[in-house]
Structure 1
C-alpha cells in the first residue's frame, strides 16, 4: 500500500493535483491539454491511481462517441501528505519530494513564459525571498495569520473577472 507521500509526491501525480487546485473540474482531455508534455497513457494511468486512492472524485460523466468521459475534482482533504508519512520520510525522501514540487513549479513558470504575451506586473507574477527573524511562537502566529488570509480567499470560484492564480510558499530556517 502506498503512503500518501508515495502517492502524491510523484511528479506527474503532483502536477495533476496542482492542475485541479482552486476547485477546478476537469476531464482527462482537459488535463492532457494542461499537461501536454505527459503522454496520454501515462496521464490516464496516474489519474486512475489518484481516483482509486480517493484523491480525485468523479463529478460528472458524459457519453462521448460511445465512451464515457469523466470529469474529475480534487478531494483536498485526501490530497495532503499525512503527518505520520512526513515524519517517516528520510532526508533523501524529502529531497526527492521537494525536487518534484520545484519541478512542478518550474513547469508552471515555463508554461507562463512560453505563452508569449507576458507582463509580470500586469499578470501579478512575482518571486522573491525575504528573511524574517521569528521566535517559535512568532512563527506559529505568522503561520496562523497566513492560514487566515488564504482561508478568506480559497472559497472564491471562477467568474466575476477572476483569474486562477497559484500561490506557492516555502518556509525554511536559514542555515549558516
Structure 2
C-alpha cells in the first residue's frame, strides 16, 4: 500500500467502510450505506471509488436486485497489516492523523450507540470504557498483549446469531513517560 492509500484510510468515512467490510468479509453498497448512517449516497460512492482506486477494496461480485446492479465489496489487502508494517516509515504528523481518525471512528461508534436511545444503561448494555495504568516490563507487556490477542482470535470467526450482538473492542496502548524527580526533591 502506498502513502496515498494510507492517507486515504485516514478519512473517517473510509475507515468506517473498511471496518464494515472487514467485519463481514464482504459487504454490499446497501449494507455499507446502512452502517454509514446519514452519509449522502453520492458521498458514499465517492468514498467507495477512492478506496477502489487505491486498491484497498475490490468488487468481488455483482448482484441483480430489482433491475439494479448491486456491487459486493471485499478488502483487497489487509490495510491494517500494511499500516502496521509501514508505521515506522510514517512521519510523526501522519501517525498523529491516523490516531486522530481512529479516535473519530470511536466517537462515531459511540454516537451511534447513544443515538436513538431514550436512556442509557452502560452496565445492562455491557458497554464501557476504562483506562488502566499498568507498570509492566516490555516482556510482561508483550505477554499480556499476546493473551489479549489470543482471546480475540478465538472469537473472530463467530457468526451473527440471535444470541450474539455485534460488539467493537478497540485498544489503545500509550507509553507514558513521567519526568523523574531529582533525589533532592521531596
Q: TM-score, normalised on structure 2? A: 0.82
Change (3 A) 1:60 1:124: farther
* Counterpart contact for 1:54–1:78, Cα < 8 Å: no
Q: Structure 1 stretches (4+) deviating beyond 3 angstroms?
A: 51-55, 57-60, 81-84
Q: Which residue of 2 aligns with 1:35?
A: 36
Give unpaired runs (5+ residues) of structure 1: none
What secondary structure does 1:166 align onto? Answer: coil
Q: List per-residue Cα deviations over 1:16-43 (Å, max 9, x = no partner).
A: 1122343354321222222123222221
* Aligned with residue 172 of structure 1, among 149, 171, 174: 174
Count of residue pairs brought into register by the alignment: 175
Give unpaired runs (5+ residues) of structure 2: 179-186
What secondary structure does 2:158 align onto? Answer: coil
What secondary structure does 1:22 align onto? Answer: helix
* 2:140 pairs with 1:162: no
List aligned pairs for 1:97-136, cutoff 5 A: 97-117=98-118, 118-136=120-138
Larger Rg: 2
* Per-residue deviation, 1:114: 0.9
Q: Choose between structure 1 and 2 for higher RCO, CA contacts under 8 A separated by at least 6 residues.
A: 1
Q: Which residue of 2 aligns with 1:23?
A: 24
Q: TM-score, normalised on structure 1? A: 0.86
